[in-house]
Structure formats: C-alpha cells, structure tokens
Structure 1
Amino acid sequence: MNLKQIAAVWLGMSALLPASAAWAATVDVSSHDIGGQVIGNNGPEAGVWAIAETKDLPTKYAKVVVTDDQGRFVIPDLPDANYKVWVRGYGLQDTVQQESRPGKVLDFKAVPAATAAAAAQLYPAMYWYSLLEIPGANEFPGTGDKGNKMPDTMKSQAQWVDTVKNMCQSCHSIGSRGIREIPKTFMENTDSHTAWALRTQAGQAQEYMAIVLGSMGPEKVYDLFSKWTDKIAEGALPFDKPDRPKGIERNVVFTMWDWASPTHYQHDAISTDKRNPTVNANGLIYGSPEESTDLIPTLDPVKHIASTITEPYLDPKTPSSEEAPRGPSAYWGDDAIWDGHTSIHNVMMDGAGKLWFTARLRPLANPDYCKEGSNLASAKVSPQATSMRQLSTYDPATGKWDLINTCFTSHHLYFAHDANETLWMSAGGPGLGGGIVGWLNTKQFRETKDGVASQGWTPLVIDTNGNGKRDAFVGAKDPVDPAKDKRIMASFYGIMPSPVDDSVWGQAMDRGFSRVDQPGYIVRVMPGSDPTNTALVEAYQPPEGTFGPRGLDIGLDGLVWTVLSSGHLASFDRTLCKGPLNGPTTADGKQCPEGWKVYRLPGPQFKGLDPKGSANHAYYVWVDRYNILGLGANVPIAETNGAESLTALVKGEFVNLRMPYPQGFFTKNVDGRIDDANAGWKGRGIWTTSGTRANFHSEGGKEAYPKVFKVQMRPDPLAH
C-alpha cells in the first residue's frame, strides 16, 4: 500500500471517529509538567490560555501558558502540589476545572461563550473604556460652570485625554468590571450621575481624586462617566474585539505568587540591579506599598514564601494615610484599609544587593539646612522649604536601615554609571518638584553616613543665550532674554541616567515652561562638573499629533523611550537632531521633531479621536537591555495596563503578552533578572507586581491579593 492509499484509509477511518479523536495530538510532559490539548466544536483551540493554580504551597501559586496551533499546551516546572487546571480563551466559556498533579496529561473540551456579551467579559479593559465619550476638540478651552463645565485651565482635548489616562487610569483600570459597573451601594435611591459623585469620594484616595476631578471639571466627569456606565448597563458592547495570542506570543509563561494582603496595594517591585541583572540571583523580590502600609512585602520565589519587613521613619508626627479624608467604600464600608506613613513609591537595588526606597520620613516642613540662609551649596542656589518624600536604604544582610532626610521630594530613583554611583531621583507630578532635580552621592554616603553633605539638587535651566554654559537666568513665566538663560519649573516623573554618557534624562507631565502647548515633554540634563551650578537642560516636546509622555527608559544603544497618552510608544534619538540644541529657538522644546519615532499601540481608539492614536495606555516603559526576556537586546516593553498586558516592540512589530488571570492585570513597572546564565530561558525572566490601588476591582474581589508575576519566553509553546 503506497502513502496515498494509507492517507485515504486514514481519512476514511477518521470520519467514523469522534471529532476529538480525529484532532488528537501527542503531548510530551516530564514529571514536573502538566500538559494537554484543548478541542472545541470546530477543532483544536489555538491561542487560548491554560491555567494551573494551587494553594498547597506557603503562598498561593499559579502558572499560565498558551496553546499552540494544535490546541496543545505544556505548563512547565511546577512545584510538587495538587493543582486545579482550566482553560480560558476569547470566544469561550471557562472550562471545568480539573484536579491534577505534575506529570499528568489532560484533555479539555472547549465550549463557546453563550452570548456576545458573555464573551466580551474577558476583553481587556481598554475595549470597554474606549466606549467613553470624549469631549470634542471644539469644546476647549473650558468655560466653567456656566459653560461646558470644564475649568479654563483645561486647554485642549489632548490635555483632557491625558488627564484621564495619566491621572485616573494610573491608579486603577478604568475599564475593569469593578469600574464599568457601578456598585449597588452607590445606586440606592439615586441616579448614576450622583453615584459617580459618591464613588469618587469613596475610600482613602478621596483627596487625590478631588484634585484630578477639579482639573477636569467634576460635573463634566460625572456626566460623561455616568453616560458610559449607563450605556454598558443597557447592554452596549465593545465595538472592537481582541485577537488571540499568535506567533511568539504563544511562547510566554506567566508564573505568579500572592503576597502582601488584600487591603494593601503595591506600586512597584524590584529583583536586581538594573545595571547588572545577575545581582541577587534567586533572591527575594521586594515591593513598594506606597500609601497603603509601612509593611514592605517580600517573596522568596524558590521556597514560595511571602513575608514583610517594616519601613521606619524619623518623626512620630509623620502623617498617616489612615488620617486621610474618606467616604464609605462599596467594598470596605467605613474601614480605613490603608495605614501607611512612609508612602514608599519606588524601590531600587544596588550592586551590593542593598535596597533604596523613596519614602516619607517626616512631616512636610524641611530642616533648616534646606532653606534660605543655609551653607549647603544647593540651598544657596535654590532653597527648599518643603519636601513630600525622602530616601531610605536597607541592608538585607544585616537588617539595618539608614534614613536620609533629603531637602527635595523623591519619587522614582535610578543609579548612574559614574564612579560615585550617583542616585538620581525624580519628584513626581506637576508642581511637586519645584523645578529641581535631586541626587545622592552614594559613594560619599557609604563612606561618611552624612546624608546632608552627600545630597544635592539643581534648578533646571535651558541655555537660551546659546553660549554653552549656565549663566543668570529668567524665570519660567518670563519671556526669553537673549542675554540670559531660562529656567523651567519641570517636575520629573520618569528619570533615567544614560548608560552611554553623563547625561540624565527626565520626563515631565506638566507645563514647566510657558511656551509648551501640550501636556508633557522629556528633558536631557547635562550635569557638568558642579551640577548645582553648572547643570543645563534641553527640553523636547513629542511630535505634532502625539502627546502625554509618561515614564522613561534608555537602552544600551542610547535610545530614549517613553509612552504617550495619545496611545503610542515613542523613541527619541538625539543624534538625529539637525538644528541647534541651544539658543533662544529651543525655549519651546520643538527643536528636534526628526529625533522622534512613534508607534501606535494596538487596540481601539475612542470614537471621534484621531485614528492614528489608540485608547490603549501604558503606565511606564522598561527597556530590556540584556535580552532577559528573549525578544532581543534593548527591546522596549510598555506596561500597557489598558490592554492588561506587557507590550514589547520587536523589530518594529508589537508582541502583546496578555495576562488573562486574574482579570484586571495592571502593572506599573518591570525589571529583569538572570538567575542562571547557563540555563537558557529557565534561568532568566522579568518581574513585576499588581500595580492597581484597588485589587478588589479585579477578578476575586475582596479576596484578591496583590501578586508577584514572573514572565518568561520559551523557544516554543511546548518547551519544558
């Protein structure tokens, strides 16, 4: 019998077999894996997620992988435990959970979602919040309570969208089910407009939300957001649909552990030194709990143990988030679930494995050495009356803390590559930094333990007279003087020392100098020999049609990356600039449009807005300098919380790594670690944590813990 005859016999026999048998394919697993195949009504289900979860370990643990084109999966390297395993995918109902242990092969029968509405419940948040009506461009600037209900400080549609994404969406996922559906508590005996007023006053973030709402016009927000949730309650569905993972997106492996507590959120996590990702191999992961608590969570990913350490502070009068004004929560009632004093925003690790935290150590008023009349060099140039957050460092080997009382506000922090291992710090959002950038000479501090002498800061000054050095300067609101330089009152949010030269790059979300006509820009700082007195800056606005940078990182190739609230990932290459980079024409930051390259983030766009942009949004961006994830060196990865994913740009194309469980994946930063350089993909991975302030808006509700996520890319979907 020849091959054609054999094939004909097989086809004839397969027609008599059950459909699942006809499509069956072999799956090889080791004693540490769980594998299987997913078959639907029309054949193998490719690009769906297989999930294994256990509570047998010291903390809850789960792993997620994606099926290949034959619907096969292998969940690799599972600790010995009892697991619940199930499958989730676009267009499907979640399958029945099966009990299993490593070494087993399971088959799953996939069933289509009962309705289009049921299927849409699995879509990432942006597909839902893209239904939000955005005020038309002709409605700006605002005309107040007697006009369009927006303040006159709201100048443009871009500014309004930027505020929604960079302020509202930065704390929680707007399109998640916990936001797009109004809790019944707020709807009792009232309408949805009033319910939105009540929910934005709920909990301990009331004061921050009030500030943001005030900038947008509260009544306008209540109008538009109540129409949005009413529309969804009446059955409106997203007008676009997500694609299933395809190509190398199917090679991803997500591993996750519970840590912290359901009432405490995390802003960030760290696993290693960004400059040397082999530091702290297989060691603890550390979090930064911001306003929620002074308990810093730790995770041992080898022993699967979650624990905490406590951040100290200098002054017993340091304010607590427990004292913040609050309204009743739909989830927690009148309970104050946050009790943090230290407001730990960001955490970094140095080359010796020590931790550095931006942390509040005392009340707002600065000590005298920061103020007018001080002999401190930086105070002579730019005295500081207050700072909102300072600096601390912790040695895991000894358990000892050093608390460093900075005069400037700290927010994010990154180490430079210089001999002093200078630690540069951003200051946060608009107005928080007073137009300065600060640093700590960590070499000097280690040798002297003198936190006062080791710190410094400088005003941000553009060389508008073009002579190549810093001279007397005019203020931010003053017109350009051809004989002087010009100060900008920028407050850096993102900050990153360059790995290729002595410059430090910052990203500002405010209008720090009078001629900027959009929300935000990036800034290059050249410190000079005496940064307090010699630092000069260059400012660069994103190109026309884009807006709203947030977050910043730099590859080993010197390319600067940021994410834009217009729905783009953007790079800036200063070496491409053609025009003069100093002098009076650079005061508006428009001197190098040719240095920018923008990439539209995948996903739908709000109706009526430029289709060249996207409703998708990323909180921050991280550059994989050392190919830790396996997608290439210097690959930028956007924390696209609108898409509930990590989105990498590889050779000009996006690789979207959606995390489907628990729904509401929302992260703010990433770092990468190499535990074993000789172990291939298994010896490396990138780490992140749940970044939302409201885990209870996500799948699991009040029982949901923040999680640590490890993300790896294997060579194919069945590698083990």
Structure 2
Amino acid sequence: MKLKQWIAGCAGAAALLQASAVIAANVDISAHDVGGQVSGEKGPEAGVWVIAETKDLPTKYAKIVVTDDQGRYVIPDLPDASYKVWVRGYGLIDSAQVDARPGKLVDFTVKGVASAGAAAQLYPGMYWYSMLDIPAPSEFPGTGDKGNKMPDTMKSQAQWVDTVKNGCQSCHALGSRGIREVPKMFSEGHDSQEAWAMRTQAGQAMEYMAVVLGSMGPEKAYSLFAKWTDRIAEGELPFDKPERPKGVERNVVYTEWDWASPTHYQHDAISTDKRNPTVNANGLIYGSPEESTDLIPTLDPVKNVAATIKEPYLDPNTPSSADAPRGTSAYWGDEAIWDGHTSIHNVIMDEQGKVWFTARLRPPENPDYCKQGSSHPSAKVDPQATSVRQLSRFDPVTGKWDMINTCFSTHHLYFAHDANDTLWMSAGGPTLGGGIVGWLNVKQFRETHDGVAAQGWTPLVIDTNGNGKRDAYVGPKDPLDPAKDKRVMASFYGVMPSPVDDSIWGQSMDRGFSRIDQPGYIIRVVPGPDPANTALAEIYQPPEGTFGPRGIDIGFDGVVWTALSSGHLASFDRRLCKGPLNGPSTAEGKQCPEGWKVYRMPGPQFRGLDPKGSANHAYYLWVDRYNILGLGANVPIASANGGESLLALVNGEFVTLRVPYPLGFFTKNVDGRIDDASAGWKGRGIWTTSGTRANFHGEGGKDAYPKVFKVQMRPDPLAH
C-alpha cells in the first residue's frame, strides 16, 4: 500500500497507474487470467467493463467482464497471446490500453468524462433514437400529399412506431453514430431533408428502404428524421441515461471473435440443436449471410479459426443482390459490396449435426408440382405459383449439400419434437407467404431423398363455425358464414413447434411491417392427421395498448413468448383462457386477454407516447429451456438491438446484458450450447452474431468485421 501511496503522490500518477502491475487486494487469478482493480477519482469504479483484445490468434479475439462493487475484475481463461487491456464505463473516458499477457495483474486509474455530451457517446442507440419525434395520434390516418404527407394506409401512431422499429431499426441501428450523424457526402450543399433522401437511396439496401419509406410517406419521414439529426448536430442530448450493470449483470463474461468480412453482414448463427443443446459440443458455429454473400461463415471457437463454406444453388439464373439497384454509398462509393444469390436468412442444426438453411435456390417461378392442376396433396388445397426462398442441408462430415426445392417461401425454421423430426418453416410475412405455413417430413426425406413428396403446406383456417374440425372456408376478406370456417391471411414470421404438445406456434407481423390491413397475431396451429386438409388455427392479438409482435418461442412450461414493438416482452399462456377458443367470436383474435402478461422493456419512451411502453425494441427472442445461461430454466432472452443488449426476464425483472465493445451491438437471435455439462458455467454459454446490415455504422467503421459473441454467467464477478 505504501508503494501505491508513493506513486499516487508523484506527477503523472494516473498515467503510471494505468500501466502498473500492482497486485490488487483480494484478486486471485490463474496463469490464464488477467485481473486487477479499477479506481477513479472517488474510489473504486463498480459496474464498468474491462476489455482484453488480441490480434495474435487466427482471428481477432476479445473478452469482456464487469467490475464488482470494489472495482475488482477477473478476465478468465484467455488463450495465450499478448492483449491490449482497457476500461470502458458510463461516465468515464476510455482508459489507455495496457499491454498484458495472461497471468498478469493490472490496475487502472480512470478519469471521468468532461461533459454530458462526451458521456452520451457511450449510450445505447435507443437513448438517441428515442429523441425522434413521432407524429401525434391526431395526425392519423394518412391523408396523402395534399394533407399530412402520409399514405392512407398509415392508419395510426402505433403503426408508425411499428414501422420505424420493424422496418428501419430491425436492419440498421438507428441510434448508432453512423445513423445519428449524416455523412458530409450527403449534407454538404444540401438541406437536411435532401440529405436524408440521398442517404436512404445509397448502397444496396435502397430498394427495401424505398418500400418502407413509401409506407410511411417519404416526405414526412425525411422531415422527421432530418429534424432529429439537426437537433443532435446542434448539441441536443438524450433526455435519459442508462445505469451501470448491477447485481448479476456483473457476473457476465462476453467472448468475441471476428468472422466473415467487413462487407458481409450476418443475419443469424447456430451452434447446436435447440432440442438437445449437447449436439455439436465445441464444434463450429455457422452463420447465415442473407443478401450479402453466398459464403457461409464458420467459427472454430476452440482453435479460434474463422473460415467459410459456399452455399450452392440450383439455377444459374438465380438473381443476385449485386443486380439490385443501388446508389453511391458514403462508405463504399459505387462498389457492390453484396453479391449474394442465395439470400440465406436463417440456419438451424438437427440432432445429427447437419446444418439446414433457408436459402434462395432459383428464380421465384415455382415448378409445376406446386401449381394449379398438380397432384401434390398440398397443391390440391392451395396451389403456389411462386416462392422466394427454399431449403438446403449441409453435412459437415461429407461436405455434401442437399437442395430441397420448396413450393412455399421459407424464412425461419425449427424442428418439431415428433417422430418425423418435422421441420416447420415460416414465410416471413403476408406479402411473401400467401397465408400458409410449410413443413418438411425430415424422416421421410432422409429415407427417400424425395424433397417433393416430403414437403407440404397448409392455409391457416380458423374454426369459426365451432364444430371442432376443418370444413370448407370463406376467404380472409369474406364475411363469416355460420356453416363454414374462415381463412386468415396471417403468414408466419416467427415459427416454433411446442415442446409440450403437437401444436405449432407462429407470429405474424403488424400493419407497420407487413403493409396489409390487419394487426399482428400469435397463431396456434394443430396440424391434425393430414395437415394440408385438417390443420386448424387460432389467432390471438396482443393486449389493448400494446402492438407489434415479432419473434416467438416456447418454454418447457408451455408458455409462449413474443417481443412487441410497443416496447414490451409478452407471454401468453393458453391454459389461462376462460372463454371459447373457436366459433365466430374468435375470428378477430381478441379472445383470451387473460392469457397475456406484458413486461415493459427498460429504457426511455419516445416523448409524448404512452410511458407504459418503451422506445426499446427486440428483433427476436429465445427461451433458455435448459438454463444454459444460468439465470433459470425457461427464461426468455430478447435480442434488444435498440438497447444494444440481451434482455433476460428473470422472475418478472429484466437483467440487461449490454455488450459495450464495439459500440453498436446489434443481434437478431441467440441459441445456447452445452459443451461440457460437468464443467459448470465454463462448459456452457449462449451464442449470437452481429445482425446489423451495416457494421460500418458502428465502432470501427469500414474496418469492422461481424462478430460471433459467446455470453456466459459466472457465479460472481471474480470467478475463474
């Protein structure tokens, strides 16, 4: 202690202490750890992050922990390498980076930020985009170019918010620095509204952005976004601020690896079979690069090696994202950084360790066996003329690919718990899916390799006549007929087979994202013995005052979870329903309000909106059925990309797991794997990947790679 007091009295003490190896009291480390203590001007700094990063391994690697209430930290189990170690925390200037190897104790003395503006640069994006003005309820519905500059299809404030979150924020991190600051290329010589028009016509996502902006009214949207970035440029700061990690949030360990490339974004990743998380223990992680490339990234987390495999496709005329219209990018100029034919949206693993992808294998025109006049059982019920994405399977042992040419569009995919290992697939949205849900009988496919006979699909039909079986039905826009059932045009976006019965649950998008005049639902389908002809559906709207379901998962307790764009995590327990679940009263999905519970996500709300909601937003969610993370069995974990965090709901309270480096953490889903059940927390973890379409909008700019993230929870912040 005398040595520390003597150093502290010297000129330049803070700089010396940042690089010191003085042993911090009560910090025990092994030869594979780095540990120490973080102190500030007022004493120990609790709840700040300590980051160790190296480029010595085959791919860039980092590990991040949080300090305890005495400012102590232990970064455990580091591969042998030379690391840069530094401190980041709310209210602090990032410390200098110190060179260290495992087995070293490193103390830090840190300084507070000089201004509120400097502090706000570390805030999650939602604190910045919650400053966006939202049109008042009185401005709806839209009245067109001569009125409020919104189309008449934009009917409510809720629909507007849903569009901002599920149409804009779901692909781009709105509050990140790369979005809240307009590049000079667009701002110089143009007013702010023109600059926003130019930036949304840049790059290779311009066509999608144009569709979303068209649903909002481009002039209205440009005006509001321009005012938002103008206010930020003039110095306005977020009106709320985040808290430092506390309680069990300080037990977290984040491990990060670079994979893919700076020009290729990732949609999702998979590590194991959701039904058996010991499958593929210590094996490769696989990604899904959607429009950006046909190169599927892989990561070996044991050897720290990133590589790629190439997804094939059936038809050489399969379109590429490089062919789509594009404008000049502020980052990449006129370069077409995306060249993906296969549009791999999602990836899943089966119990054999084979990897399945929803991938585009051909142009949209369907084969004849899908169409009117086909003898295929499902085509007889509901023929399909086109599909935009199909299905493939990769065997890592043999390197062999199987191409399954589905008649229905695919998006997300999950295996059922039945004897046929049925793979159920969502379509993505009503404008893509035609109000159907599709499947593959995997047992049959393995035996026959006949992808035509093994596939099927069914329209979604509600038992509105209440007789308990599926009959002839009226169309989605037709009035009810007491002698018939009713079809609903609510294609699945999320899909999840129940682990407790034979039902299949889905979720359809709200008006904002789907751009059709119906609310979002969660949907229960019971396939019956001949699903194309016997499947019956139930639909359920979220509770009054909430809206915008996105993503779906189910625990072993049978409780269904979804994220709502109103800023909530919501559960639905069908066992609590008191009224009839079929019959004419169920056609709108307003039955069983008693089955719902909603939980407000942490964070600020847009000004003027219902404070019971939040500006926070989750792209998807995952239920930790096996307590892999260590916060409890059946805990839902939301991918809150607005909050740059994973949100775990534990006993009705949120645990916020924010990844602070690189800034702009943005993920779309997670899964969990058990590598060694006997190794405690070290033998398990949950996995995810960067999900934004524009990694270059975050920290690191054009040099930023997508990352794989592993999240683990220790029993305490110093466990090693």
Shorter-chain-normalised TM-score: which range?
over 0.9
Q: Does 1:403 align with 2:403?
A: yes
Amino acid at match of 2:333: G
Q: 1:293 to 1:427 in 2, by over 3 A?
A: same
Maintained 8 Å contact 2:670/2:687: yes
Maintained 8 Å contact 1:470/1:533: yes
| Equivalent residue runs for 1:64-79 within 5 Å | 64-79=64-79
- Partners of 1:556 and 1:493 lie apart in 2 by 22
Amino acid at match of 1:446: R
Superposition deviation, residue 480 in structure 1? 1.1
Superposition deviation, residue 405 in structure 1? 0.3
List runs of 5+ in structure 2 lacking aligned partners: none
**Residue 521 of structure 1 corresponds to which residue in structure 2?**
521
| Equivalent residue runs for 1:483-494 within 5 Å | 483-494=483-494
| Equivalent residue runs for 1:29-428 within 5 Å | 29-428=29-428
SS of corresponding position for 1:431: helix
Q: Please report the TM-score for the alignment, with normalisation by the length of structure 1.
A: 0.97
Q: 1:16 to 1:380 in 2, by over 3 A?
A: closer
- Partners of 1:519 and 1:72 lie apart in 2 by 49
Amino acid at match of 1:674: I
| Equivalent residue runs for 1:263-662 within 5 Å | 263-510=263-510, 519-662=519-662
SS of corresponding position for 1:679: helix
Maintained 8 Å contact 1:491/1:510: no
Maintained 8 Å contact 2:519/2:541: no
Amino acid at match of 2:145: D
- Partners of 1:158 and 1:510 lie apart in 2 by 10
- Partners of 2:27 and 2:524 lie apart in 1 by 53
Superposition deviation, residue 490 in structure 1? 1.0
- Partners of 1:96 and 1:114 lie apart in 2 by 16
List runs of 5+ in structure 1 lacking aligned partners: 1-9
Maintained 8 Å contact 1:466/1:584: yes
- Partners of 2:462 and 2:141 lie apart in 1 by 29
Amino acid at match of 1:329: S
Q: 1:116 to 1:483 in 2, by over 3 A?
A: same
Superposition deviation, residue 585 in structure 1? 0.3
Superposition deviation, residue 511 in structure 1? 5.6
Q: Deviations over 1:498-538 (max 9, x none)?
A: 000000000000469x9x98641100001001000000000
Q: Please, which moves more after superposition, 422-431 or 412-421?
A: 422-431
Amino acid at match of 2:430: P
**Residue 5 of structure 1 corresponds to which residue in structure 2?**
none
**Residue 702 of structure 1 corresponds to which residue in structure 2?**
702
**Residue 6 of structure 1 corresponds to which residue in structure 2?**
none
Superposition deviation, residue 28 in structure 1? 1.2
Q: Deviations over 1:442-477 (max 9, x none)?
A: 000000000000000000000000000000100000
Superposition deviation, residue 482 in structure 1? 1.2
- Partners of 2:478 and 2:374 lie apart in 1 by 27
- Partners of 2:499 and 2:714 lie apart in 1 by 28
Q: Does 1:684 align with 2:675?
A: no
Maintained 8 Å contact 1:92/1:113: yes
Amino acid at match of 1:484: K
Maintained 8 Å contact 1:371/1:379: yes
Maintained 8 Å contact 1:158/1:518: no
Maintained 8 Å contact 1:158/1:519: no
Superposition deviation, residue 430 in structure 1? 3.2
**Residue 3 of structure 1 corresponds to which residue in structure 2?**
none
Amino acid at match of 2:659: M
Maintained 8 Å contact 1:313/1:342: yes
Maintained 8 Å contact 1:518/1:548: no
Maintained 8 Å contact 1:162/1:519: no
Superposition deviation, residue 592 in structure 1? 0.7
Amino acid at match of 1:596: W
Maintained 8 Å contact 1:378/1:458: yes
Q: Deviations over 1:333-376 (max 9, x none)?
A: 00000000000000000000000000000001000000000000
Maintained 8 Å contact 2:510/2:548: no
Q: 1:14 to 1:362 in 2, by over 3 A?
A: closer
Superposition deviation, residue 23 in structure 1? 12
Maintained 8 Å contact 1:518/1:547: no
Q: How many residues align?
A: 708
Q: Please, which moves more after superposition, 105-114 or 596-605?
A: 105-114
SS of corresponding position for 1:655: strand
Q: Deviations over 1:629-672 (max 9, x none)?
A: 00000000000001100000001110000100000000000000
- Partners of 1:583 and 1:449 lie apart in 2 by 41
SS of corresponding position for 1:639: strand
- Partners of 2:323 and 2:6 lie apart in 1 by 71
SS of corresponding position for 2:677: coil
Q: 1:17 to 1:126 in 2, by over 3 A?
A: closer
SS of corresponding position for 2:256: strand
Q: Deviations over 1:538-589 (max 9, x none)?
A: 0000000100000000001110000000000000000000000000000010
Q: Percent of aligned positions with the same letter in both sequences?
A: 81
SS of corresponding position for 2:342: coil
Amino acid at match of 1:702: K
Superposition deviation, residue 107 in structure 1? 1.0
Q: 1:321 to 1:402 in 2, by over 3 A?
A: same
Superposition deviation, residue 491 in structure 1? 1.5
Amino acid at match of 1:565: S
SS of corresponding position for 2:309: strand
- Partners of 1:227 and 1:592 lie apart in 2 by 42
Maintained 8 Å contact 2:202/2:326: yes
Amino acid at match of 1:600: R
**Residue 4 of structure 1 corresponds to which residue in structure 2?**
none
Superposition deviation, residue 114 in structure 1? 1.5
**Residue 667 of structure 1 corresponds to which residue in structure 2?**
667
SS of corresponding position for 2:91: coil
SS of corresponding position for 2:622: strand
